[in-house]
């Protein structure tokens, strides 16, 4: 049965699609979203929605206050694109060479704009305050979330909600779950240091290539021999750089890889084991290892009470049916909002049909079905009403 929320979404849908196509055609990289921010800013002015620009230079935080007191509820979208050449043939294909919205942030931004426009015309739906976080640079560490938090934009927020499109689900599906839904991401770098020489006489050198190869293989035992089968941990060596010519044994070889886990303690254990293995194996080959660890994003861990509220809201959805979200090992800086305050992160499907091929995010052919905008706008509205 249709209600006023569905009516508002249907009235907004065509404009939301047009905005999404414009944003998709004009993608910008992380911390470079100047024109995207200007586009959002102009709409806020047109709709008479107050806003602030963060010190980072891109992104925007807008807000609408209701006539009655209540909570301050924040909603977040990310606005940046990826350094990839789009290979779709849609009429709104990216006009920027080697830049495209291959992760669905154009959908997130258009969804938030539609939500904000609906509320600007129906302020009776707002009790307290609604904040719209148009966040820059989710795709590039250290990300934009922590800078918005550092500037105090969440200091008065009682709860925060965000969404991400999901190519595994159709546009009429929506999903959420309690607990961890994305993994923490951590980078390790290992320099294996030996002594260079001529490839024809390795006995006069200390070969870091052989030592580095042994390190790569030994790192595979971290998961297989240290982690309970019920736990989730990934340790992947993804880059090896060493040498300049086929007959020169180099002085050093660089390795770089990723740790992914829903548990920060497990990730910490993996870092300790990486250091122990690298240093021990290299010593056995007469080399030495220098290890550096860089933190990426923390795990996104939904709050139980917020998920229960979202479930109640989504039970009233007209455009989508509710599914349980399967956790994934990708990273998301929405994690830091959930460390600051209560909230939840959920997924909206974007496939056109169940028989349609699954094209993953960060793929040059990635594309979302516009109809998912109806699902996203309704979801934000249902959550807001449930919060009140």
Alpha carbons within 13 A on the beta-carbon side of 213: 3
Query: How far is it, in rounded angstroms, from Cα 163 to Cα 104?
Result: 10
pTM above threshold 0.75: yes
Query: How far is it, in rounded angstroms, from Cα 384 to Cα 210?
Result: 58
Full strand arrangement of the beta sheet holding 173-176 = 51-52, 60-65, 129-135, 72-78, 159-170, 342-351, 173-176, 321-324
Domains (ranges, CATH) in the chain?
A: 4-182+299-387 (3.40.630.10), 184-295 (3.30.70.360)
Catalytic residues: 80, 138
Preceding peptide of 142 cis, ω within 30°? yes
CA distances for 378 relative to 3, 243, 320, angstroms: 11, 56, 9
Query: How far is it, in rounded angstroms, from Cα 180 to Cα 177?
Result: 8
Residue-by-residue pLDDT tens, the chain, 388 positions: 579 999 999 999 999 999 999 999 999 999 999 999 999 999 999 999 999 999 989 999 999 999 899 999 999 999 999 999 999 999 999 999 999 999 999 999 999 999 999 999 999 999 999 999 999 999 999 999 999 999 999 999 999 999 999 999 999 999 999 999 999 999 999 999 999 999 999 999 999 999 999 999 999 999 999 999 999 999 999 999 999 999 999 999 999 999 999 999 999 999 999 999 999 999 999 999 999 999 899 999 999 999 999 999 999 999 999 999 999 999 999 999 999 999 999 999 999 999 999 999 999 999 999 999 999 999 999 999 999 7
């Amino acid at each position: 049965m249709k209600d006023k929320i569905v009516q508002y979404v249907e009235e907004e849908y065509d404009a939301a699609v047009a905005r999404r196509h414009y944003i998709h055609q004009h993608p910008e990289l992380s911390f470079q979203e100047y024109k995207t921010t200007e586009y959002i800013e102009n709409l806020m002015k047109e709709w008479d929605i107050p806003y602030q620009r963060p010190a980072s230079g891109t992104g925007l935080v807008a807000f609408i206050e209701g006539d009655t007191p209540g909570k301050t509820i924040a909603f977040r979208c990310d606005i940046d694109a990826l350094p990839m050449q789009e290979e779709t043939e849609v009429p709104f294909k990216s006009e920027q060479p080697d830049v495209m919205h291959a992760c669905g942030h154009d959908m997130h931004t258009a969804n938030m704009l539609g939500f904000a426009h609906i509320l600007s015309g129906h302020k009776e739906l707002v009790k307290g305050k609604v904040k719209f976080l148009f966040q820059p640079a989710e795709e590039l560490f250290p990300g934009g979330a922590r800078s918005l938090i550092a500037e105090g934009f969440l200091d008065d927020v009682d709860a925060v909600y965000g969404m991400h499109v999901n190519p595994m689900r159709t546009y009429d599906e929506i999903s959420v779950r309690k607990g961890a839904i994305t993994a923490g991401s951590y980078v390790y770098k290992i320099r294996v240091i030996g002594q260079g020489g001529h490839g024809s006489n390795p006995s006069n050198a200390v070969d870091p290539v052989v030592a580095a190869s042994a390190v790569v293989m030994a790192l595979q035992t971290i998961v297989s021999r240290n982690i309970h089968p019920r736990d989730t941990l990934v340790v992947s060596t993804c880059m090896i750089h060493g040498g300049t010519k086929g007959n020169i044994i180099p002085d050093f070889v660089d390795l770089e890889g990723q740790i992914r886990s829903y548990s920060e303690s497990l990730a910490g254990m993996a870092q300790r084991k990486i250091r122990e293995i690298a240093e021990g194996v290299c010593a056995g080959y007469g080399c030495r290892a220098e290890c550096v660890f860089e933190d990426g994003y923390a795990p996104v861990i939904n709050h139980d009470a917020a998920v229960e509220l979202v479930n109640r809201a989504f039970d009233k959805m007209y455009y989508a049916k509710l599914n349980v979200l399967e956790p994934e090992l990708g990273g998301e800086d929405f994690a830091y909002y959930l460390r600051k305050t209560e909230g939840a992160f959920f997924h909206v499907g974007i496939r056109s049909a169940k028989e349609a091929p699954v094209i993953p995010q960060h793929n040059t052919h990635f594309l979302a079905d516009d109809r998912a905008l109806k699902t996203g706008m309704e979801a934000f509205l249902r959550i807001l009403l449930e919060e009140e």
